Amino acid sequence: MYDYVIVGAGSAGCVLANRLTEDPDVRVALVEAGPPDTADEIHMPAAVAALAGSRQDWDYDTLPELACDRRRIYLPRGKTLGGSSSVNAMVYIRGNRADYDAWRDAGNPGWGYDDLLPYFKRAEDNERGADEFHGVGGPLAVSDSRANTPIGDAFVESAIAAGHGANPDFNGPAQEGVGRYQVTQRDGRRASAAACYLHPVADRANLTIETYMHVRRVLFEGTRAVGVEAERMGEVTELRAEREVLVCGGAYNSPQTLVASGIGRAEELATLQIPQVVELTGVGMNLQDHANVWLRWETEEPVSLWGALTEENMALFGAGSGPLTSNGAETGGFARSSDALQAPDLQFHFFVGPFEEDGPSQGHGLAAAVCLLTPRSTGYVLHARMDPLNKPFIRHAYYAEPADMDAMVEGLRMLWDICGRDPLARHCNVPIGVPDGDDEDSLRAYVRRATQTLYHPTGTCMMGSGPEAVVDAELRVHGTEGLRVVDCSVMPSVPRGNTNAPVIAVAERAADLIRGRTAPVAGEAAAGVA
Min mean pLDDT across 419-423, 514-518, 521-525 is at 521-525
Average pLDDT of the residues of the chain: 95
pLDDT at 530: 62
Share of the chain above pLDDT 90, in %: 92
pLDDT digit string, tens, across residues 134-147: 999 999 999 999 99
How far separated are the first and last CA of the chain, in Å rounded?
A: 47
Q: Which range among 77-81, 233-237, 286-290, 298-302 shows the weakest confidence by mean pLDDT?
A: 298-302
Q: Would you say 144 and 180 are in contact if contact means Cβ atoms under 8 Å apart?
A: yes
Residue 529 pLDDT grade (very low, low, confident, very high; cuts 50, 70, 90) = low
Classify 483 as helix, strand or coil.
Answer: strand
The predicted model gives 297-323 an average pLDDT of: 93
Is the pLDDT assigned to residue 522 strictly greater than 90? no
What pLDDT band is residue 40 in, cutting at 50, 70 and 90?
very high
Give the architecture-level CATH label for domain 22-227+281-456+492-515.
Answer: 2-Layer Sandwich (3.30)
Task: Give the span between the Cα atoms of 256 and 264, in whole angstroms.
Answer: 9
User: Does residue 524 surpass a pLDDT of 50?
Assistant: no
The H or E element spanning position 443 is helix 440-450
In angstroms, rounded to a whole number, what is the distance separating the alpha carbons of residues 228 and 327? 37
pLDDT band of residue 392 (cuts 50, 70, 90) is very high
Residue 297 has pLDDT above 50, yes or no: yes
What's the pLDDT tens digit per position in 115-167?
Answer: 999 999 999 999 999 999 999 999 999 999 999 999 999 999 999 999 999 99
pLDDT of residue 500: 98
Pick from 362, 34, 373: nearest CA to 214: 34
pLDDT in tens, 330-388: 999 999 999 999 999 999 999 998 776 554 567 899 999 999 999 999 999 998 776 77
CB distance 84 to 491 below 8 Å: no
Give the three-state DSSP class for 116.
Answer: helix
Question: How many Å apart are CA 160 and CA 154, to the nearest integer?
Answer: 10
pLDDT band at 526 (very low <50, low <70, confident <90, very high): very low
Report field, pTM of the whole predicted structure over 0.85: yes
What residues does each domain of the chain span?
22-227+281-456+492-515
Tell me what the mean pLDDT of segment 106-112 comes to: 97
Query: Is 171 in contact with 91 (CB distance < 8 Å)?
Result: no
Q: What pLDDT band is residue 266 in, cutting at 50, 70 and 90?
A: very high
Confidence band of 525 (pLDDT split at 50, 70, 90)? very low
- Higher-scoring residue by pLDDT: 192, 360: 192
| Rounded distance between C-alpha atoms, residue 200 and residue 211, angstroms | 17
Residues annotated as catalytic (active site), given as ranges? 456
pLDDT on residue 196: 98
pLDDT category, 518, cuts 50, 70, 90? confident
Residue 520: pLDDT band (50, 70, 90) is: confident
Q: Looking at residue 528, what is its pLDDT?
A: 53
Instruction: Give mean pLDDT, residues 391-404.
Output: 97
State the pLDDT at residue 298. 92
Lowest mean pLDDT among 131-145, 241-255, 495-509, 513-527: 513-527
d(CA 219, CA 239): 9
Going by their DSSP bridges, the two strands 235-247 and 2-7 should be labelled as parallel
Work out the pLDDT band at 66, boundaries 50, 70, 90: very high
How confident is the model at residue 233, as a pLDDT? Answer: 92
Tell me the average pLDDT across 220-249.
97
